[in-house]
Amino acid sequence: MTPPSDSTLALKIEHYLAHGLFFMLIFGLAYWIWPLENKGTTEFTTYMAVLLLGTVLFNSWKKNWMNRVYDQSEQ
């Protein structure tokens, strides 16, 4: 998903940074799950908690970002 073409440069940069962080979380999850026999339960639980927190923060940022894009398009 790409940002709207009339977005400011700052909004475009923020958009791509957030998506990059989101995909880093996904690939990080795969890194922890794949060799699961080598990882302890506490490490896995900690990582899942961080993933959940990251997802919640990403969704709240996305809602805020979409509201700013919508407000910018109204002006």
Helices (DSSP H) in 1-75: which residue ranges?
9-33, 41-74
The tally of domains found in the chain comes to 1
Q: What is the pTM of this model?
A: 0.43
C-alpha span between 52 and 62 (Å, rounded) = 15
Residue 38 lies in a domain: yes
Domain that holds residue 35: 11-74
Residue 32 lies in a domain: yes
Residue 67 lies in a domain: yes
pLDDT tens readout for residues 42-74: 777 777 788 788 888 887 887 877 777 777 766
